[in-house]
Structure 1
Amino acid sequence: MTAAPGTGPHPARFDLPEPDAFSRPYWDAAAEGRLLIRRCGTCGRAHHYPREFCPYCWSEDVGWETASGRATLYTWSVVHRNDLPPFGERTPYVAAVVDLPEGPRMMTEIVEWTGAAGDAPLRAGMELEAGFRDGVPVFRPRNRPRPLG
């Protein structure tokens, strides 16, 4: 007899993906530190989240493409309370929407920003760069000194 999901010694994780055959290239690339997007061979537009068809022209002629890893901040919200594990342990955190230079807009989290003295204030249009936590893309302010160690 097995325990129900989310019970027992290891509670369910709501922050990690469950790859399927279609999304596996995306998550494998993320595990390697690369951000993939999908681009339509018919209309040429890129999109994110990955789909098997183009959300603009409905073509199925879409393929994977490595994104630059750069973005600009579109909007954000500082989350102070979240009861789902493990998010409650991360509060406060910054949920955000960013614009990729390839065209897509994506939801993400801003990391390496605390709002403490010395952090530049978040602002729309702020330049960001991709990073990865547990194989999930997150973004950090660009041109920020990296922690040593």
Structure 2
Amino acid sequence: MTTPTGVAPEVVFRDGLAAGELRFQRCQACSAAVFPPRVLCPGCGSDALSWQRSSGRGAVYSTTAVRGRDGAHNVALIDLDEGFRMMSRVEGVAADRVLIGARVGLAVVEQDGQPVAVFREERS
């Protein structure tokens, strides 16, 4: 994917979500997967970051149920197959039934007028 010049990394990421894609960066100097988007590699400090599309597939690394007046929802850390971790939620499963290690896939949903990356359990 061509790296847009002069565009903030957050804008490129959000534009990807609007197109139904989960975008991340890969450092050309050290090959590290970089997420969240930024201008320098956190591993080696290089500014040679290229954009890539994630498959959107990964596994739940950790999860917690958050309870409030409107019921419970989960907050989960997802290890994506490309080598980065992101915070999100797993939908379609009760908040206290999300399993660590469960395979999940990306779903982009609209929330408050903005595209948001969430995950759903993959069925085998």
Bin of the TM-score, shorter chain as denominator length: 0.7 to 0.9
Match of 1:104 among 77, 84, 87: 84
Instruction: Give the drift of 1:114.
Output: 2.0
Unaligned runs of 5+ in 1: 1-20, 82-87, 145-149
Which residue is 2:48 aligned to?
61
Distance 2:119 2:58 in 1: 8
Q: Percent identity?
A: 29
SS of aligned partner of 1:64: strand
Runs of 4+ in 1 over 2 A off after TM superposition: none
Q: Which residue of 1 aligns with 2:4?
A: none
Question: 1:113: how far off?
Answer: 1.1
1:30-109 equivalence runs, <5 A: 30-81=17-68, 89=70, 91-109=71-89
Deviation at 1:115, TM superposition (A): 5.8
Of Structure 1 and Structure 2, which has the larger fraction of its residues in strand?
A: 2
The structure with more radius of gyration: 1
Structure 1 length normalisation: TM-score? 0.70
Aligned twin of 1:129: 105
Query: How many correspondences in the alignment?
Result: 113
Structure 2 CA distance for partners of 1:111 and 1:103, relative to 1, 3 Å: same
Q: Which runs of 5+ in 2 are unaligned?
A: 1-6
CA RMSD of aligned residues (A): 1.8
1:45-82 per-residue CA deviation (whole Å, 9 max, x = no partner) reads 1021111111111100001110011010000011112x
- Name the SS of the counterpart of 2:17 in structure 1: helix
Kindly provide the CA deviation profile for residues 2-44 of structure 1, in whole angstroms up to 9, marking residues without a partner as x.
xxxxxxxxxxxxxxxxxxx412111111011100011000001
SS at the partner of 1:132? strand
Q: Which residue does 1:14 correspond to in 2?
A: none
